[in-house]
Amino acid sequence: MSDVTTSGTGLDATPVVTAGVTARPVLPPLRIGRHVIESPVVLAPMAGITNRAFRRLCREYGNEGAASGGASGASSLYVSEMITTRALVERNAETMRLIEHDPEENPRSIQLYSVDPATARAAARILVQEDRADHIDLNFGCPVPKVTRKGGGSALPWKRDLFRAIVGAVVEEGAKRDIPVTVKMRKGIDDEHLTYLEAGLAAEEEGVAAVALHGRTAAQAYSGTADWSAIKLLKETVTSIPVLGNGDIWSAEDALRMVEETGVDGVVVGRGCLGRPWLFTDLAAAFAGSSARVTPTLGEVADTLRTHTLYLTDFYGDEERACRDIRKHIAWYLKGFPAGSTLRNSLALVDSIDSLDRLLATLDRDAAWPGEAAEGQRGRAGSSRHVVLPEGWLDSRELSEEHRRVIAEAELSVSGG
């Protein structure tokens, strides 16, 4: 393919192909079951973030990068925010809205959270029989205390039989309509209770299409540095399906470095795209072998922020709710730019598209991309912590009757969707 530069950097940016410059793709397309993902990149599920509006924005940017390289399949894989299986089975209204997709989303990807094989199977059956998804991801990585204290998320793989039962049930349901299932997990509960290698092999044996590893333990949450050596070891251990790496990918260069250091088949990007959905343009270009990167002006960033708000309005069907949602994105979009605390604070209180427009109009649209000041970590890192678990959870790798009763209530502790 040819090298790519960009003329403009907003959603209307037009890729320009420079003839005669040949680039070599870094990785082949990612294959998740029957799906071919041209750019081997996955948008990580993030609660309250990766709704249909944000996925649309990321997808449009990713498509720009993929199209510039002549790709014909899906640019990347964009996964929904976590959906609890109990809420789905009970057809919670908010959950049913969260699993909706745009007509252009392909493959339609949904992440499920479960602690009970029967409920997991029932939820997967709904997605399969009612044609609501083309790919199902299973969450075994959530480190949030309200999840781990009931044995869910990153605490669950410690119970080997329960992990296998949930994965096996969903894989079996998905197979009825050739819907691949993947697993996303962490290294383990803490450094003394690692589960990722055993869980990766178990998932492979149960028939998943790929496994993704966030190179942190639950105890780390989002603090410290992701352990890419663990991702490398998982790739060397799980050999028949793709292995994806997650953690500390803040730029396309980080993604390329992860591939070089670990040998993974693709990357999963979470916090790195907060306030910068054009990261998917960069990633598509980078994996196609191009050095082109998007460096928007403040005006172009403002236009993207406004588009995001419009997409949220369409998603919620409620302008005020959309404006409340966009508030948490303001700091991420403006990171490194000269916006001033007064304007930032006003934007963080915006309650209508009109007020948003008035405030954005005061920005210096010509302000250039600030470079390093806008790069790097996004979102709160926090600090390491003690993982809250059910009493006696670490005493055995098998599920006791007492713990079976505890986890029966686990999904009730997680809000629907």
Residue 413's pLDDT is 54
End residue of a domain, out of 246, 265, 295:
295
Looking up tokens 């498509």 gives 63
Q: Which residues contact 273 (CB under 8 A, 6 or more apart)?
A: 43, 58, 279, 280
End residue of a domain, out of 330, 345, 367:
367
Domain-embedded: residue 6: no
Domain-embedded: residue 231: yes
End residue of a domain, out of 295, 323, 347:
295
Q: Are 208 and 303 within one domain?
A: no
- Sign of the alpha-carbon torsion through 182, 156, 214, 47: positive
Q: Are 287 and 307 within one domain?
A: no
Q: Are 252 and 330 within one domain?
A: no
Tallying the residues shown for the chain, one arrives at: 417
Domain-embedded: residue 207: yes
For residue 7, count CB atoms less than 10 angstroms from its CB and return exposed for 0-12, middle for 13-18, buried for 19 or more.
Answer: exposed
Domain-embedded: residue 333: yes
Report, as residue numbers or ranges, the catalytic residues.
142
Residue 64's pLDDT is 79
Q: What percent helix, strand, coil does the chain show, rounded to 5?
A: 45, 15, 40
The Cα–Cα gap between 417 and 407 comes to: 18
Domain count, the chain: 2
Helix 319-326 crosses helix 353-360 at what angle (to 10 degrees)? 40
Cβ 31 vs Cβ 40: under 8 Å: no
Residue 8's pLDDT is 41
Residue type, 79: V
Other Cβ atoms less than 10 A from the Cβ of 233: the count is: 18
Query: Distance of CA 315 to CAs 100, 107, 387, Å?
Result: 10, 19, 35
Q: Are 62 and 132 within one domain?
A: yes
Per-residue pLDDT of 356-389, as tens digits, reads 999 999 999 999 999 999 998 887 777 788 999 9
Which residues of the chain fall short of a pLDDT of 70? 1-23, 65-74, 409-417
Q: Are 289 and 313 within one domain?
A: no
Domain-embedded: residue 210: yes
Q: Are 39 and 109 within one domain?
A: yes
Q: Are 52 and 122 within one domain?
A: yes
Domain span at residue 171 reads 25-295
The Cα–Cα gap between 278 and 253 comes to: 14
Q: Are 171 and 305 within one domain?
A: no
Residue 20's pLDDT is 34
Domain-embedded: residue 388: no
Q: Are 286 and 179 within one domain?
A: yes
- Sign of the alpha-carbon torsion through 115, 124, 322, 269: positive
For residue 4, count CB atoms less than 10 angstroms from its CB and return exposed for 0-12, middle for 13-18, buried for 19 or more.
Answer: buried
Domain-embedded: residue 381: no
Cα–chain-centroid distance for residue 288? 21
Q: Are 278 and 344 within one domain?
A: no
Residue 410's pLDDT is 64
Residue 231's pLDDT is 98
Residue 378's pLDDT is 81
For residue 126, count CB atoms less than 10 angstroms from its CB and return exposed for 0-12, middle for 13-18, buried for 19 or more.
Answer: middle
SS3 at position 246 = strand
Q: Are 358 and 258 within one domain?
A: no
The Cα–Cα gap between 324 and 28 comes to: 40
Residue type, 170: V
Q: Are 308 and 269 within one domain?
A: no
Domain-embedded: residue 257: yes
